[in-house]
Amino acid sequence: MNEALRIGVAGLGTVGSGTLAILQGQAELLAARAGRRLEVVAVSARSRTKPRPVPIDAYRWYDDPLQLAADPALDVVLELMGGEDGVALEVTRAALAAGKSVVSANKALLAHRGGELARLAEANGAVLAFEPAVAGGIPIVKALKEGLAGNRVRRVYGILNGTSNYILSTMRATGRDFADVLAEAQALGYAEADPSFDVDGIDAAHKLALLAAIAFGVEPAFDQVHVEGIRQVAATDIAYAEELGYRIKLLGIAEATDHGLAQRLHPCMVPATSPIGQVEGVFNAVVAEGDAVGVATFVGRGAGDAPTGSAVVADLMDLARGHRSHAFGVPSATLATARITPISERRGAYYLRLTVDDRAGVLADVATCLREQNVSVETMIQRHRATDQPVPIVLTTHEADEAAMREALRAIAALRAVREPPRALRIETL
Ligand code: HSE
């Protein structure tokens, strides 16, 4: 058998432990498949003595992950610490600069600095791989870079955060409000004490920037993603979505438009019967639309020790087998700077929920605001009449320009009979 692939692990949290469990438990199988052993040589974490689900005594220990990155015995460093800069960035840079390959689960770092790190890897004959950074166990990085390499991708979209999907699914199943379900998810340990990366869309937007980079050959650029989270999604909107044949999902969408590349991450209504509409709970899903393949849908676990460990080991197996690919599927020198299509140029249907006084002429005033922006109504629901109480009006529109819709909403919000800020959600045709 060939020489072992020598691995250093920086970070022994959930993903690090899950990865070691696979490397320890499946050592023979992996060696048989790769034709060489995958040998963990060294590890580094904040605490050496913390109880862990896997033994680490057999490995060289480093308090400082930068020293681990400098260990000449290593072929590859696993960056499983996280953080969009700081020590994670230093470790990644140090390992790549020394010609060691890096497998990174760090979507935040890569979404901000992926282009720079890919160039550093190539300049030093190293590989930068990040299957575990996007959608956990779903092998979507490999699918886009390799399995779909013959396609011109028109659109790639998906549910990229399990915590948000769990919250939205539970809200739908129970009729409860966002705050209530979030508090429960935190108590059960599904959501972090600071849930903002998950529920404000940031984590998913990091992943979308990486998917867009691979699908469209552009430099990953988190700051070019339009991001809206799910805090404003109300139980009542979820119920209306159900009635209209939709589900509300936090979707990341990257698509080629006539003017450039749109990258947006926001809650939206999707047909309840669509593959994405059916993905519930903590699951992730990614759909790639290619000119040759048509629509390819990938569903699986987007987080957790074993699923994410599975993705780390997939990248390690590539390295062990001598399969080398560019981080984003093209030589990093050719990564383009995307011409961004702003969200104001989005064209599509919308759902609107207004809270209005129930009296003659209100609907006509609302209709005037929409007509003046050339927005055409498709359906309307009004009920629950109760004397002296404002009533909800729910509308869906035909395709309209986002900029026009925003103008219409501004005008509607200014009507005297409109008692609360209008709620709007985009409806996506999938
Ligand atoms: N916190 C993420 C999720 C997983 O809930 O899907 C890590 O990106």
State the CATH number of the domain containing residue 206. Answer: 3.30.360.10
List ligand 1's pocket residues with C-beta within 6 A: 161-163, 198, 203, 302-303
How remote is the CA of residue 209 from the centroid of ligand 1, in Å? 15
Within-domain flag for 391: yes
What is the C-alpha to C-alpha distance for residues 218 and 337, in angstroms, rounded to an integer?
6
Q: Which residues fall within 8 angstroms of residue 51, CB to CB, at 6 or more apart?
A: none
385 pLDDT tier (thresholds 50, 70, 90): low
Q: Which residues fall within 8 angstroms of residue 357, CB to CB, at 6 or more apart?
A: 390, 391, 417, 419
Q: Mark which of 111, 133, 155 sits at the end of a domain.
A: 133
Q: Which atom of ligand 1 is nearest to the CA of 302?
A: 6
Give, using CA atoms, the residue closest to atom 2 of ligand 1: 161
Same structural domain, 111 and 244: no
Q: Considering all CA atoms of the chain, what is the largest pairwise distance in Å, rounded to the nearest integer? A: 84
Same structural domain, 62 and 9: yes
What is the C-alpha to C-alpha distance for residues 137 and 117, in angstroms, rounded to an integer?
23
168 pLDDT tier (thresholds 50, 70, 90): very high
Identify the domain containing residue 192 by its residue range. Answer: 140-302+334-343
Same structural domain, 351 and 338: no
Same structural domain, 292 and 368: no
Within-domain flag for 148: yes
Same structural domain, 88 and 152: no
Vertex 204, ends 198 and 209: CA angle to 5°? 150
Same structural domain, 104 and 173: no
Within-domain flag for 324: no
Look up residue 261 and give its DSSP letter.
E
What is the C-alpha to C-alpha distance for residues 158 and 403, in angstroms, rounded to an integer?
24
Token pair in block for residue 259: 């003017």
Residue range 201-244, pLDDT digits in tens: 999 999 999 999 999 999 999 999 999 999 999 999 999 999 99
Which one of 100, 107, 145, 207 is the catalytic residue? 207
Q: Mark which of 108, 133, 158 sits at the end of a domain.
A: 133
How remote is the CA of residue 252 from the centroid of ligand 1, in Å? 14
Same structural domain, 145 and 293: yes
Same structural domain, 25 and 37: yes
Site to substitute for ligand 1 among 161, 197, 305, most atoms within 8 A of C-beta = 161
2 pLDDT tier (thresholds 50, 70, 90): confident
Whether residue 207 lies in the annotated active site: yes
386 pLDDT tier (thresholds 50, 70, 90): low
pLDDT of residue 105: 97
387 pLDDT tier (thresholds 50, 70, 90): low
How remote is the CA of residue 198 from the centroid of ligand 1, in Å? 7
> How many independent structural domains does the chain possess?
3
Give, using CA atoms, the residue closest to atom 8 of ligand 1: 203
Kindly report the CATH number assigned to the domain that includes residue 354.
3.30.70.260
